Amino acid sequence: MQNYGKAKLVEEKVFKDPVHRYIHVRDQVIWDLISTKEFQRLRRVRQLGTTYLVFHGAEHSRFNHSLGVYEIVRRIVDDIFSGRPDWDENERLVVLCAALLHDLGHGPFSHAFENVFHTDHEYYTRQILLGNTEVNDVLNRVSEGFPEKVAQVIEKTYPNETVVSLISSQIDADRMDYLQRDAYYTGVSYGHFDMERILRVMRPRKNKVVIKASGMHAVEDYIMSRYQMYLQVYFHPVSRSAEVVLNHILKRVKQLSIEGYQFAVEPTHFKPFFKGQISLEDYLSLDEYILYTYFQSWMKEKDPILSDLCSRFVNRNLFKYANLNPEEDPEKFNQIKNLLVEAGMDPDYYLYHDCTSDLPYDFYRPGEESTRIPIFLEKPNGEIRELSQESLVVDAIAGRIKTDHKVYYPKELLNRGKGSHIKQELLEALRSK
Amino acid sequence: MQNYGKAKLVEEKVFKDPVHRYIHVRDQVIWDLISTKEFQRLRRVRQLGTTYLVFHGAEHSRFNHSLGVYEIVRRIVDDIFSGRPDWDENERLVVLCAALLHDLGHGPFSHAFENVFHTDHEYYTRQILLGNTEVNDVLNRVSEGFPEKVAQVIEKTYPNETVVSLISSQIDADRMDYLQRDAYYTGVSYGHFDMERILRVMRPRKNKVVIKASGMHAVEDYIMSRYQMYLQVYFHPVSRSAEVVLNHILKRVKQLSIEGYQFAVEPTHFKPFFKGQISLEDYLSLDEYILYTYFQSWMKEKDPILSDLCSRFVNRNLFKYANLNPEEDPEKFNQIKNLLVEAGMDPDYYLYHDCTSDLPYDFYRPGEESTRIPIFLEKPNGEIRELSQESLVVDAIAGRIKTDHKVYYPKELLNRGKGSHIKQELLEALRSK
Amino acid sequence: MQNYGKAKLVEEKVFKDPVHRYIHVRDQVIWDLISTKEFQRLRRVRQLGTTYLVFHGAEHSRFNHSLGVYEIVRRIVDDIFSGRPDWDENERLVVLCAALLHDLGHGPFSHAFENVFHTDHEYYTRQILLGNTEVNDVLNRVSEGFPEKVAQVIEKTYPNETVVSLISSQIDADRMDYLQRDAYYTGVSYGHFDMERILRVMRPRKNKVVIKASGMHAVEDYIMSRYQMYLQVYFHPVSRSAEVVLNHILKRVKQLSIEGYQFAVEPTHFKPFFKGQISLEDYLSLDEYILYTYFQSWMKEKDPILSDLCSRFVNRNLFKYANLNPEEDPEKFNQIKNLLVEAGMDPDYYLYHDCTSDLPYDFYRPGEESTRIPIFLEKPNGEIRELSQESLVVDAIAGRIKTDHKVYYPKELLNRGKGSHIKQELLEALRSK
Amino acid sequence: MQNYGKAKLVEEKVFKDPVHRYIHVRDQVIWDLISTKEFQRLRRVRQLGTTYLVFHGAEHSRFNHSLGVYEIVRRIVDDIFSGRPDWDENERLVVLCAALLHDLGHGPFSHAFENVFHTDHEYYTRQILLGNTEVNDVLNRVSEGFPEKVAQVIEKTYPNETVVSLISSQIDADRMDYLQRDAYYTGVSYGHFDMERILRVMRPRKNKVVIKASGMHAVEDYIMSRYQMYLQVYFHPVSRSAEVVLNHILKRVKQLSIEGYQFAVEPTHFKPFFKGQISLEDYLSLDEYILYTYFQSWMKEKDPILSDLCSRFVNRNLFKYANLNPEEDPEKFNQIKNLLVEAGMDPDYYLYHDCTSDLPYDFYRPGEESTRIPIFLEKPNGEIRELSQESLVVDAIAGRIKTDHKVYYPKELLNRGKGSHIKQELLEALRSK
């Protein structure tokens, strides 16, 4: 079994991929990992959560993206790094596995789910790698400590930072795949950059990956793509509105369960999460299909809040939004609250304030993000410089983002306001986006 | 209310679409239809059923495709037909609605489902249009007989065949959208043709749509795209294998129910289908998410066949296939059967023969398909000719398809055969694809 | 004849265009202008001068680009502006003609040619529009003052600034075409932006064109494309090196002519330019094919400088370059000069210093470019703001460009230096790029 | 010097290419060949001759295409063939050189030029490879017989047919590049096929290249692209019309020269061609820029035929065409002739009949083209079959092309006919296309 890690398929397998054209698999280990049920489960978790409710094309799954990240890393190690002095060929398999499996712990609608149930997909990635799973079986066959190594790469504690950088840094395979893939599926014209050029000028260095300075403009273009994708796609207010509704559904289910409410359709799969005693099997039994199935059943629950919120989510009747910062304008926020109460709607479930800096935002800001390995440029004379020291564009935009405050509320409020005592001004405020 | 059919949105709405770039909505009716829950349900039915298990990119839904068909028809009527002598502007709305709603009756994994439960998506499209639904409410507001008109266009019984042709003919908006869309999401390089050119040379004629002869080569290219997409994508044997497993799951559930088997998780949503007493609400309550949720639960059923088949489907452990026509080689087919029985596997659920002519195949064959309106070319002198009379390429390939026979079986059979009395020859036959 | 300006072609004509897919011509006037010999001449003037010597794909002509600018303006006026309150339909034809003809006065390798002979393509555009030409004939048939109007639009003196803005502003059809077209032909991955989105949110206002604020990010993307195209393509040092050689050829021919040198092949076409007495016919008789023909002949002239420079240009044996600012480091610059003299090479023809701020640079800098109409965003409340006041990205990069100094010299100098008294340091300086 | 053939560049050089994204050069020999003046001359010969007069985007040169063919062969030998049993690594350099240089002997507007002056670009390719040229210098440095070997590969006399097949067969790198490149520059939607897939399944066999049968559909798609490109682009009648005018210019110049006509601008470069005593230097001194320069001068010649034809070509005032086969309808053809004579136009220069089978047509017809190596499919069992035996589509269309007869004539004839004795019928015949 000691050669399993080096076993090659008799014939290379390829997956047709719309973003990278083909995904090439030559290693038996990779092939076996893809066939595990834990990896196949990623087909039932969308890459972009609720975004498909705004960009209808974005129905792609994390399975899709995970293959893409693997393929990018494969190209880097096989076509670019292989044979170069600072690259250790023995790291090849561990980085390929880490690339493929980096999102393994993601559950359905991760952001909302983790927010309500305080789970952590990184924790579960580790559990799946090291627990009693098909993935662990495969990795263990490579060598005894191998699953732990893969986990370390994903968790950024692996000693060789060159390896870690390929998966987690400001210009890793993860981001390079998702920017292009999300752009492809949404159909937006941002998200394109010359990845081939960037790969061609990536070089392994001692505990580092550098980009040759001649590729700086391609990297700038990548940074700008990221900036645009965040503003245009990832932070889209309608998608955030769907997140709010989803969040409130989960919050309501949890609350009803605490209160001993008698569900017509019991939240069986959720019970371990209410108690906070979650086995790996419990975790893996969840996916977005199952959540949706519950939501559809619950549209008929007696509890009016749960049934209403589920209808809104399933039938895409989402909350409206308005630019409003409750801290700056507490009075207006209170007026909205009062109006809701008057209308018989509980503000806990029908009003929400968020701002984009609450979101998992990682637009390039050196210094602030201590855990992110920055982008290093290597000049012709060998000097290594952090990107924003060299690039006017990146320096200019790094850390200059406005925080965007929004409140979300049901559109029925607008009609409700008509002819009532509500101030015209408030209506105006709500309507303005 | 009489002007509702002509009401325009204050501001045009657009959907970003990866295939057509933008989908433009100007009519209040169209906007309202998209917001109905019956139309939103199409987000939970995949356009290509099980194909995503082969082409991982093909995760797109019928919602996606329906918007695309609408957009193509909108371009034809607004940009090409508008103002031309043989086009009646009063047909505009009915054809737009029919385009948008033509797939409304599709259920989850239509092909397998209809095969086992003898339902018919066309029947349900009519039910949704005319029944007690949000869609019917919207259509009725246009005018009293309007829902019936829309149904007639979709059912090809509408008197004006120019209108019908846009939705259902050998070169309708339906096909033009799905070829391009399915190519885009699978990532294959077939499926592209110059739709813009084809649209530009489409003309309304009395009860007909013609293509000006100058566009013949673009049409040939479209026909070849179709041919390639059928052979490469729609008939892909691995996708058919998944259909076989799915089919057998449904068959097994039905059989168990007849036999009075006690399910750990009851097939509640399926019961009306077992009895054949299906209300519209029953039908609309189904989607692919719900089926998947059942399949996941049933992986733990006591019945070994049901639980095994569900595991195979959910974890993508599908059947193998071999080229074999049981009619030509009944002996070999029987040998396989015997081998299955010996291995304790019921051939009713573990063996399947299909041939592509069983499939919903509509590659261009004039004459054979009496219900399909063919493609008409209009020559500069006004003469109208059916495409295959003019095009060498189309004439050459029309109706010249080989039937492809395959048997599907569990891969465990191959190992089983080793060292047993099974003839080497049979193994070879099974292995050869 | 008074209706000529409104005459439509019996059937719309289309040109297949790789950038805009199709270019649509419906007006008889436009069709007739395209057929004039002055417009056809633009096929013999490359859009990017010497750039094809670096990016071999960039062999496209100004003919190509001119059709593209026309098409963009046509889409704006016909699909977006038509029918809106602040748009005067009577301006349609003048702006279409101006779009098509805006580059009409460009000669071969404009930059180098104008530098040596002090001609001005804008002056000649006016001459062609108003002089004894086929173009003037066509325009005159529209109405008596029409050629003058077209000239005014191109020269930015036309009273209606809405019209001028479409052709000449920070976001005009000229730039939108050339960025995309030059990106397409060079094959670089920059230069893409969502033009369709920008066009959709353009609005005519009193003496202005505004972009609705919802399109700001598409405009940012356009600005970044411009930035990248300038740095990566338009300022590429090898292309500038070719310009230097070309410049020196023309300078040498002029000098030889002044000195009474007996040419084996007389520079017949150049003579009016030496004298500065240039008729319109003289000007129009020149194109890049003819210049190349002279250069090929002159490779055999006795004058060693002329023959050498011509060989370098024709056979692409260009100058090397190094980063050096003669003002900052006059000593080094002088050393190079001395080395050249020693090697028998005249520094006037074999050494050149340029910096990118000498080049026709128009990266977005509000304030500095008084003649450029800036980009106006219109907020939902109607307020109009200049782009850099709203966009962090644009504000950040506006006016922050480093000046790039380079000296160009023959590569033979490097070998020459070996083993000679030239300082190693100088060699290093020259080699470093 | 013996290692020159194996010398690698210190750093790989890349050319940005719009079709293949990047062209990679690692060999010193290839780099040196690209820098020769004979190879640089290909920048001044268009890939598609007069086609840019119909598809304005098609301004690309043979330089462009030659790099593309080189890159495809490089990918095949370095990424696919390298290390496989039937591939001899020693053939690598010869096939790369042959790929790069296969079009080296092409002159300006080859088809028309060869037709009038009976030159042969294949003969000149050999002369350039073996004569006193920079190309020969480079090749000779590899080894003594090397230039001859490269010539043999291009001429298909090289003993190893695997090598020859890569450059000249029904599916060689030449065609795979030009189909894609010509499609890219014209902007047509044909010409696309999945080259990456085809390359992946190409295999070297003894004296053969085969395509694994699994790639058959990609090959079918390639054949269809070829068919469409021939009909839509290469045989476009307006482009053929330009060829006719060009042909007649050259014929007229030759005739005038024989008659002793005194040219105002002497056809100096043509004289060796009149006499048929053409040195290699004479041949290489010609390119399309020079021809255009002559044509522009000759617009002012006294000879009315020459000056008229040159004006037509330069200003794109081409001949009209009509479907007419003189053999089938000699009377009509004679009527046209008479009408021309009456109008004072010499039918030798103003009338032309051609049919597409006269053109360099090589649509796939096994059997007929004895010199073309056909496409071989290799089945999983190792059996090798010629493509049309396996592919229904290819079998169906092979050899089924209609011959298309056209006559070309000046459009002035149409006006001339009005009100004269010319039969209405003839006019109709001319007008019908």
pLDDT of A369 higher than 60: no
Per-residue pLDDT band for A367 (boundaries 50, 70, 90) equals low
Bridge partners, B405 (sequence order): B355
CATH fold of C4-202+214-229: Hypothetical protein af1432 (1.10.3210)
| B387-423: pLDDT as tens digits | 888 887 787 777 666 678 999 999 888 776 555 555 5
Choose, out of A64, A287, A296, the residue to mutate when testing the contact with B (most B CBs < 10 Å): A296
CB-based contact (8 Å) between A4 and chain B? no
The pLDDT score that the predictor gives to residue A129 is: 98
Q: How far apart are the first and last CA of chain C?
A: 62
Show the tokens assigned to C399.
């006016």
Would you call D393 and B194 a contact, using CB atoms and an 8 Å cutoff?
Answer: no
The pLDDT score that the predictor gives to residue B191 is: 79
Which stretch of DSSP H or E encloses residue C75?
helix C62-75
Would you call A52 and B43 a contact, using CB atoms and an 8 Å cutoff?
Answer: yes
Would you call D56 and C40 a contact, using CB atoms and an 8 Å cutoff?
Answer: no
CA D141 to chain centre: 30
Strands (E), C189-283: 202-205, 208-212
List the single residue in B35, B64, B289 with the smallest CB-CB distance to A57: B64
What three-state secondary structure class fits A269? helix
CB-based contact (8 Å) between D21 and chain A? yes
Choose, out of D32, D48, D55, D56, the residue to mutate when testing the contact with C (most C CBs < 10 Å): D56
| A148-158: pLDDT as tens digits | 999 999 999 99
The pLDDT score that the predictor gives to residue B404 is: 83
Task: Find, in chain A, the residue whose alpha carbon is nearest to that of C187.
Answer: A194
List the single residue in A21, A196, A200 with the smallest CB-CB distance to D196: A21
Per-residue pLDDT band for D15 (boundaries 50, 70, 90) equals very high
Could you please report the per-residue DSSP string of D180-235?
A: HHHHHHH--S-S---HHHHHHTEEEETTEEEEEGGGHHHHHHHHHHHHHHIIIIIT
Choose, out of C200, C203, C217, the residue to mutate when testing the contact with B (most B CBs < 10 Å): C200
CATH fold of B4-234: Hypothetical protein af1432 (1.10.3210)
Would you call B192 and D194 a contact, using CB atoms and an 8 Å cutoff?
Answer: no
Residue C433: CB atoms within 10 A of its CB come to 11
The pLDDT score that the predictor gives to residue A426 is: 64
Would you call C393 and A227 a contact, using CB atoms and an 8 Å cutoff?
Answer: yes
The pLDDT score that the predictor gives to residue A346 is: 96
Q: D103: closest CA among D160, D172, D27, D57?
A: D172
Choose, out of A10, A13, A15, A16, the residue to mutate when testing the contact with B (most B CBs < 10 Å): A16
The overall average pLDDT reported for chain D is 90
For D71-82, what is the mean pLDDT?
Answer: 96
ipTM: 0.93
Of the two residues C354 and A103, the one the predictor is more confident about is A103
The pLDDT score that the predictor gives to residue C424 is: 59
Which stretch of DSSP H or E encloses residue B323?
strand B320-323
Show the tokens assigned to A164.
């870690």
* CATH number assigned to the domain covering A4-235: 1.10.3210.10
pLDDT of C360 higher than 50: no
Please identify which residue in the block is written with the tokens 């459009």.
Answer: D411
Q: How far is C290 from chain D (nearest CA, A)?
A: 5
Q: B73: closest CA among B56, B92, B90, B89?
A: B92
With both helix axes pointing from N to C terminus, report the angle between C121-130 and C92-101 in degrees, rounded to the nearest 10.
Answer: 130
Cα separation of D332 and D324, whole Å?
A: 8
**Conformational region of residue C368, where left means phi above 0, alpha means psi within -120 to 50, and beta covers everything else:** alpha
Per-residue pLDDT band for C25 (boundaries 50, 70, 90) equals very high
CA dihedral B295, B299, B302, B306 (to 10 degrees): 50
Cα separation of C363 and C234, whole Å?
A: 11
| C205-252: pLDDT as tens digits | 999 999 999 899 899 989 888 888 988 899 899 999 999 999 999 999
Of the two residues C393 and D232, the one the predictor is more confident about is D232
Cα separation of A429 and A326, whole Å?
A: 12
Classify C236-318 by CATH class. mainly alpha
CATH of D4-232 given 1.10.3210.10, 3.90.1150.10, 3.40.470.10, 3.40.50.970: 1.10.3210.10
For C148-166, what is the mean pLDDT?
Answer: 96
* Residues 199-258 (D) with a CB less than 8 A from some CB of A: 200
Neighbours of chain A (3+ CB pairs under 8 A): B, C, D
The pLDDT score that the predictor gives to residue D248 is: 97
Cα separation of A119 and A127, whole Å?
A: 12
Residue D346 contacts residue D340 (beta carbons within 8 Å): yes
Show the tokens assigned to C362.
């128009």
pLDDT of A1 higher than 60: no
Classify D236-317 by CATH class. mainly alpha
List the single residue in A14, A22, A196 with the smallest CB-CB distance to D21: A196
Residue B210 contacts residue B203 (beta carbons within 8 Å): yes
The pLDDT score that the predictor gives to residue B75 is: 97
The overall average pLDDT reported for chain C is 90
Q: How many CA atoms lie within 13 A of A122 on its CB side?
A: 6
| C104-142: pLDDT as tens digits | 999 999 889 999 999 999 999 999 999 999 999 999 999
pLDDT of A418 higher than 70: no
For A339-354, what is the mean pLDDT?
Answer: 92
Express as a percent the part of chain A with pLDDT over 70.
91
For D130-151, what is the mean pLDDT?
Answer: 97
The pLDDT score that the predictor gives to residue D51 is: 95
CB-based contact (8 Å) between B11 and chain C? no
| D191-218: pLDDT as tens digits | 789 999 999 999 999 999 999 998 998 9
| C310-349: pLDDT as tens digits | 999 999 999 999 988 999 999 989 988 988 998 899 999 9
The residue extents of the domains of chain D are 4-232, 236-317
Would you call D187 and C292 a contact, using CB atoms and an 8 Å cutoff?
Answer: no
* Residues 255-314 (D) with a CB less than 8 A from some CB of C: 285, 287-290, 292-293, 296, 314
Cα separation of A252 and A256, whole Å?
A: 6
| D270-302: pLDDT as tens digits | 999 999 899 999 999 999 999 999 999 999 999
For D311-315, what is the mean pLDDT?
Answer: 96
CB-based contact (8 Å) between D431 and chain B? no
Would you call B396 and D401 a contact, using CB atoms and an 8 Å cutoff?
Answer: no
pLDDT mean for each 10 residues of chain B (433 residues): 82 93 96 97 96 96 98 97 94 98 95 91 96 98 96 96 94 95 93 91 95 92 88 91 96 96 96 93 95 96 97 96 91 90 93 71 51 85 88 74 85 70 61 55
For A80-86, what is the mean pLDDT?
Answer: 93
Neighbours of chain C (3+ CB pairs under 8 A): A, B, D
The pLDDT score that the predictor gives to residue A358 is: 46
| C249-270: pLDDT as tens digits | 999 999 999 999 999 999 999 9
The pLDDT score that the predictor gives to residue A379 is: 92
Would you call D194 and B188 a contact, using CB atoms and an 8 Å cutoff?
Answer: yes
CATH of B237-358+403-431 given 1.10.3720.10, 1.10.150.300, 3.40.50.720, 1.20.1250.30: 1.20.1250.30
The total number of residues written for chain D in this structure:
433
* Residues 361-380 (C) with a CB less than 8 A from some CB of A: 380
Please identify which residue in the block is written with the tokens 């392994």.
Answer: A204
Q: B346: closest CA among B296, B297, B308?
A: B308
The pLDDT score that the predictor gives to residue C357 is: 61
Rounded-to-5 percentages of helix, strand, coil across chain D: 55, 10, 35
Residue B352 contacts residue B244 (beta carbons within 8 Å): yes
CB-based contact (8 Å) between B315 and chain A? yes
User: Among the listed ranges C37-51, C92-106, D187-201, which one has the minimum average pLDDT value?
Assistant: D187-201
Burial of residue C19, with CB atoms counted within 10 A of its CB: 0-12 exposed, 13-18 middle, 19 or more buried: buried
Count how many pairs of residues, chain B against chain D, have C-beta atoms within 8 Å: 61
Cα separation of A274 and A250, whole Å?
A: 10
The pLDDT score that the predictor gives to residue D423 is: 52
